[in-house]
A and B are shown apart, each in its own frame.
Chain A
């Protein structure tokens, strides 16, 4: 177990550094399993991906071993989706994630570490289709 200051110091070195790019096709079967899992039968999702689907295409938070040395578990604090263009079945999407901020906050059950992740999603034509932000909390 490391201290809050140590965790923040280590994680700060990751801020602004892009993680590896991941390219994946938007497959009909995957979108179907996703909409079945969320229980959304809208026929629109037989051609287009539903609003939160991109999180299934690539991990939204980078695996940060340094963060996992702190606290006992992860919580998701929030997410923001910005959609710039539709994501259609058959598209090939490249995602690139990074840590944008790290800070701590005192909570009712002790200190919590906040890590803000951001992932950009680009389609096969090089268009930025979405940006997803997530607040991962380590406590």
Chain B
């Protein structure tokens, strides 16, 4: 394992679409209308349908597990949703190593909208023992 504090892991850029939101709603079983019904989303004060927070969490999970490969396991993973994201815009997932303690590695992870605003921020801990 060659991991250093400050190292940025390879980014992951997702291109969420309304179709993906419907697919995710079905797969997760979350049928809250703000994720697929434009009129409903606007009626509760949103600009339109928005990404599920948990879909953004899944993207950030993939960011970490893509980097990890079969070298280890994602142990804890915590995200905070700071802003809404709309389908049709790229969602850029990034992460950086913040601590290395033997086999245990901590990262900060975040998701950026097109303007570079961090709409999801979080941390992940991974165990390189596999």
> Which residues in A have some Cβ–Cβ distance to B below 8 Å?
30, 33-34, 36-40, 42, 44, 50-52, 55-56, 59-60, 72-83, 86, 109
Contacts and interface: CB of A to CB of B under 8 A. Distances in A.
Main SS class of interface, A: mixed
Given A37-B23, A86-B73, A79 B78 contact: yes
Nearest to A136: B53
Contacts of B81: 75-78
Nearest to A42: B65
Interface of B: 14, 20, 23-24, 26-29, 32, 34, 44-46, 52-55, 57-59, 61-62, 64-66, 70, 73-81, 122
Contacts, number: 101
B58 A83 contact: no
Most interface-central of B20, B24, B58, B77 (chain A CB within 10 A): B58
B44 to A, nearest CB: 4
Contacts of A79: 53-54, 57, 78-79
Most interface-central of B34, B45, B54, B122 (chain A CB within 10 A): B54
Nearest to B25: A37
Contact of B45 (A39, A59, A72, A78): A72
